[in-house]
Amino acid sequence: MSCFGSIPVDLSERLEDPGDSIQLAGAIEASEYTVGEKTFSLPANPKYDVVLTNAGDGILVTGIVRASVEGECDRCLEPASFEVSGEIEEYFLFEEPENSDAYEDGFELVGEDRVIDLGDAISDAVIMDTPFVVLCQPDCLGLCPTCGANLNEGDCGCSAKAEDAWVESDENPFAALKNLKFDE
Ligand SMILES: [Zn+2]
Ligand SMILES: [Zn+2]
């Protein structure tokens, strides 16, 4: 299911002959999209730029879609933004092939009305280029597991306390040494 709905392109009286090609550019009216359980917002409409070529038995669509995306940092939960530039590649066959296994990367069909829908191809390209892990900055320190403080804003002191506690604890084999008095 396309996260951008359908993006129909009417080919009537265009791309009639093999080798014919046209360039198409446009913007997608969308304010957000979802990947798995994450929702990303789009402060501006994503833009696509594609070339459609009549390749004989179908229409080859190649190009790029670019978007500025805003989400949430997976480590510190603060806002995180990133750029997407996804490669679009889709093949729309004029007729259902006898041997569909020959099309390893899959295919779609050109409608009877000579309309193709770029919605899936463009949303796949955006999703493919959306990072699996989103970070506010490459070295985001995340949240303290003890108190939940954002460690990018400074040390909350928990890790130092935890170390002190360990030094004092019975689990630390060196704790006993601390109390030894050395006669010199
Ligand atoms: Zn972060
Ligand atoms: Zn803490």
pLDDT tens for each residue of 20-76:
999 999 999 999 999 999 999 999 999 999 999 999 999 999 999 999 999 999 999
At 110 the pLDDT is 92
CA 8 to centroid of ligand 1, rounded, Å: 38
**Ligand whose nearest atom lies closest to the CA of 158:** 2
Query: Which residue type does 66 have?
Result: R
Cα(80) to centroid of ligand 2, in Å?
22
**pLDDT, tens only, 117-160:** 999 999 999 999 999 999 999 999 999 999 999 999 999 999 88
Other beta carbons within 10 angstroms of residue 64's beta carbon come to 17
Nearest ligand to the C-alpha atom of residue 155? 2
Please give the distance, rounded to the nearest whole angstrom, from the Cα atom of residue 43 to the centre of ligand 1. 20
pLDDT tens profile 84-113:
999 999 999 999 888 877 777 778 999 888
Sorted by sequence, the CB contacts under 8 Å of residue 133 that are 6+ apart come out as: 74
**Which helix (H) or strand (E) covers residue 35, if one does?**
strand 32-35
Instruction: Report residue 178's pLDDT band, with 50, 70 and 90 as the boundaries.
Output: low
Q: Using CA atoms, how far apart are residues 90 and 48, in angstroms rounded to an integer?
A: 14
